[in-house]
Structure 1
Amino acid sequence: MSDAHTGAGSSLGTGLPGVPPDLSGRSRPGERAIQAVLFTSALVSVAITVGIVVALVRPVVDFFADVPFGDFFALEGDLAVVPLVAATFVVTAIAMLVAVPLGLGAAMYLSEYASPRVRKVLKPTVELLAGVPSVVYGFFALAFVTPTLLQKILNLEVGFTNALAAGLVLGVMIIPTIASLAEDAMAAVPQAMRQGSLAMGANRMQTTLRVVFPAALSGIAAAVVLGLSRAVGETMIVALAAGARKNLSIDPREGMQTMTGFIAQTAGGENPVGSTSYNMLFAVGLLLFVITLIINIISISIVRRFRQVY
């Protein structure tokens, strides 16, 4: 009797009834091929990133061989990058002031207040804004926002190109990014947490702000930082609406040139390959790459710090 029991247990590989055998050592058809494809995909992503850095480094080395660091990081001058960085931050700050409240408000409504039928219609509609080409937003800023909204309705003294119009339209463009990702994070919060809050006497707004929002904070932070990264790297809106003149100012009513606007103008101009003006294009691009990398590192650290698994 004991021998039969032992034999049955050994056939299962564990000696315990109901426990499945260990199949970790067996190779499954197609599993190695899938692993190879996934590994190749990850390797290609890393290789592309390394290739971008390599492509930028050589012209940057040639640029700083001719131009001192002090001239590049100066406050004014043809080779100064500080006005470009300042303009980028001014336009991005305006965009985030528009996109964060509206994006998070839309996310809270879609997640906590909208009925399934309304959500089915509104969420794809909001996400359609992300599919509009940025050049269309740029012409919208030139044709409507500046002459009609800012000059006629708000009666502001702004030039034909200004950072305020560029920031407002840029903020509208990144609303879908923040709204969609934040709504997904809030929808992932367990329903039991909402029911527990409501059972304790909290209303829907208190439940949203004090229970759901903190529980989804990691995803919301990632959505905001992703929107910030997109705002920093946007080109066509700022190239058309912000201006093409270096201007170290914090007044958004003035025209100013951002880093991406400078890259677009320099790349489209007649600059001989290997010249100082041509190599400066890569120096600004590398600086923009570093700034974006820092933003992504901060995003990862925030997500890891506030991440909650349910």
Structure 2
Amino acid sequence: MTQTPIILLLLLAFCSAAFYVGRRRALSVAGGQIRNLHSLPGYYGLYVALWAALPALILFGLWSAFEGSIITQMVVAEMPASVRALEPAKLNLLVNDLHNLVSGNVVSGTPDAAMQAAAERYRNLQSIASATLIAVTFGIAAVAGWFAFSRIRPHHRARNGVERIIMGVLIASSLVAILTTVGIVLSVLFESIRFFHAVPFHEFLFGLNWSPQIAIRADQAGSTGAFGAVPLFAGTMLITVIAMVVAVPIGLMAAFYLSEYAGPKVRATAKPLLEVLAGIPTVVYGFFAALTVAPFIRDSGTILGLDVASESALAAGLVMGIMIIPFVSSLSDDVINAVPQSLRDGAYGMGATQSETIRKVIFPAALPGIVGAVLLAVSRAVGETMIVVMAAGLSSNLTANPLEAVTTVTVQIVTLLVGDQEFDSPKTLAAFALGLMLFVTTLCLNVFALFIVRKYREQYD
């Protein structure tokens, strides 16, 4: 809706006026004496403003969500019977052309008179709906604001009402986040169940061959496909381990240096420069890995007599490790600085050196936060796609040799869902099964990290 910003700005102005009127009303009923009011005048104004805003915003959101589909159904219902009798796929294409014609975009063919009439009808209904929305939204805002305004009395608990409304908004926001997560999990789970109806679970989980391409004729090689996910998870773990071997030691040592050894000037300069690595786009890291690191590793291997693939897990892992160093160093630095100074002073008072204090006092105390930082880095490495595509390739090899080409789960998910796909074949549904297994894996990592955090937090709280 093109009028959405204007409506929201007008509603904001209306609520500001409601706040001012409610505040003035509270002062008026109190005879100008704030001590006669249960709450401060601002709470009364905020009470009226919230009552004017929330019902109108809820209506506006629901209207905006369902307006397009309702208008489309009304327009399609008025079209000739031959159009309504079309197959669902063809009808969807026609509706898409209708939307493009209304918005001025390119349609799939030359629109006929019926399509032009439908587009004109759609625009008329859209104009009527917009005008009705404005009237109903501000009508509800006015009625709700007047209801709150009429309840203003000296002993009205406006502060309690405002806090209840804000608490309801916070709970609703939390429910949105929770329901979104549940929806994501269920959508992946249902599609994965469809996949496991076609491919046995044990074959997917323990199979050693991954070749999801299904041939058209039965006499072609690999006509039934192979959906063993072990090579994908092995490649993911290999690249992740290489990345963590690079990122964790460098990140932790950088964090301890910046927190315990570096002076204020060095810290103020080095930490922002280190965090710049996190702002570089991953495609740039991919170019760096493909054009610089991978050829260097291949040439170095040739000199040493090693057979190194042009795209290797080592190249992708090294560059990925460089990319996630800031995730470890920055978060670990914040956690180390949060360790109470009294622990350091106590260690120094008992004769410990600075290095002994770091190893035996600061590091154990900061370990829960460091585990969280490392886990975040692991999740970042597991979910990385662009670097792997450009530096490690798409070959699903089951190997522990970092000099060979491998692929990861996320790369295969992207590969399976590229282009026009039919969501009724095992090839496409395999992407959801991979996503489900990746979700379960990261969940297990989170549970393990929570165990470590709770174990050491009890010792240092």
Shorter-chain TM range is 0.7 to 0.9
202, 222, 244: which one aligns with 1:96? 244
**Counterpart residue number, 1:33:** 165
**Counterpart residue number, 2:231:** 83
**Counterpart residue number, 1:189:** 339
Q: Does 1:265 align with 2:415?
A: yes
Distance 1:32 1:257 in 2: 52
Distance 2:348 2:199 in 1: 64
Deviations 1:90-130 (A, max 9, x none): 11111111111001001101110111222122222212211
The answer as to whether partners of 1:146 and 1:158 remain within 8 angstroms in 2 is no
Distance 2:248 2:343 in 1: 25
Q: CA deviation at 1:244?
A: 0.3
The answer as to whether partners of 2:371 and 2:449 remain within 8 angstroms in 1 is yes
Distance 1:31 1:46 in 2: 22
Any runs of at least 4 consecutive aligned residues in structure 1 with deviations exceeding 3 A, and if so which? 25-30, 152-157
**Counterpart residue number, 1:136:** 284
Distance 1:298 1:41 in 2: 28
Distance 1:242 1:269 in 2: 22
TM-score (norm 1): 0.86
Question: Which stretch shows the higher mean deviation, 200-209 or 246-255?
Answer: 200-209
Look up the SS of the partner of 1:87 in the other structure.
helix
Look up the SS of the partner of 1:268 in the other structure.
coil
Q: CA deviation at 1:77?
A: 4.2
The answer as to whether partners of 1:142 and 1:241 remain within 8 angstroms in 2 is yes
Q: CA deviation at 1:33?
A: 3.5
Distance 2:308 2:419 in 1: 27
Distance 2:450 2:166 in 1: 28
**Counterpart residue number, 2:299:** 152
**Counterpart residue number, 1:278:** 428
Q: Summarize the Cα distance change of 1:271–1:86 in structure 2 as closer, same or farther, 3 Å threshold.
A: same
Distance 1:142 1:77 in 2: 24
Distance 1:170 1:77 in 2: 24
Distance 2:358 2:191 in 1: 51
| Larger Cα-atom Rg | 2
Distance 1:174 1:59 in 2: 32
Trace 1:158-169 onto structure 2 (pairs within 5 A): 158-169=308-319
**Counterpart residue number, 2:177:** 45
Q: Please list every run of 5 or more consecutive structure 1 residues that lacks an aligned counterpart in the other structure.
A: 1-24
Distance 2:307 2:161 in 1: 69
2:185 counterpart letter in structure 1: V
**Counterpart residue number, 1:299:** 449
2:413 counterpart letter in structure 1: I
The answer as to whether partners of 1:63 and 1:283 remain within 8 angstroms in 2 is yes
2:202 counterpart letter in structure 1: G
Distance 1:32 1:235 in 2: 45
Look up the SS of the partner of 1:182 in the other structure.
helix
Deviations 1:252-307 (A, max 9, x none): 10001110111121122453332210111111111111111111111122111111
The answer as to whether partners of 1:162 and 1:255 remain within 8 angstroms in 2 is yes
The answer as to whether partners of 2:210 and 2:231 remain within 8 angstroms in 1 is no
**In angstroms, what is the RMSD of aligned CA positions?**
2.0
Q: Summarize the Cα distance change of 1:110–1:34 in structure 2 as closer, same or farther, 3 Å threshold.
A: farther
Q: Does 1:222 align with 2:355?
A: no
Q: Does 1:72 align with 2:204?
A: yes
2:189 counterpart letter in structure 1: V
**Counterpart residue number, 1:111:** 259
2:307 counterpart letter in structure 1: E
The answer as to whether partners of 1:94 and 1:164 remain within 8 angstroms in 2 is yes
Look up the SS of the partner of 1:216 in the other structure.
helix
1:152 counterpart letter in structure 2: D
Q: Summarize the Cα distance change of 1:220–1:63 in structure 2 as closer, same or farther, 3 Å threshold.
A: same
Q: Please list every run of 5 or more consecutive structure 2 residues that lacks an aligned counterpart in the other structure.
A: 1-156, 212-226
Q: CA deviation at 1:241?
A: 1.4
The answer as to whether partners of 1:71 and 1:77 remain within 8 angstroms in 2 is no
249, 253, 263: which one aligns with 2:403? 253
Q: CA deviation at 1:70?
A: 3.4
Question: Which stretch shows the higher mean deviation, 154-163 or 170-179?
Answer: 154-163
**Counterpart residue number, 2:353:** 203
**Counterpart residue number, 1:180:** 330
The answer as to whether partners of 2:233 and 2:408 remain within 8 angstroms in 1 is yes
Deviations 1:185-217 (A, max 9, x none): 110111122122223322221211111111111
1:111 counterpart letter in structure 2: S
- Give the share of equivalent positions with the same residue, in percent: 48
The answer as to whether partners of 1:197 and 1:211 remain within 8 angstroms in 2 is yes
Q: How many pairs were matched up?
A: 285
Q: Summarize the Cα distance change of 1:144–1:198 in structure 2 as closer, same or farther, 3 Å threshold.
A: same
Q: CA deviation at 1:144?
A: 0.8
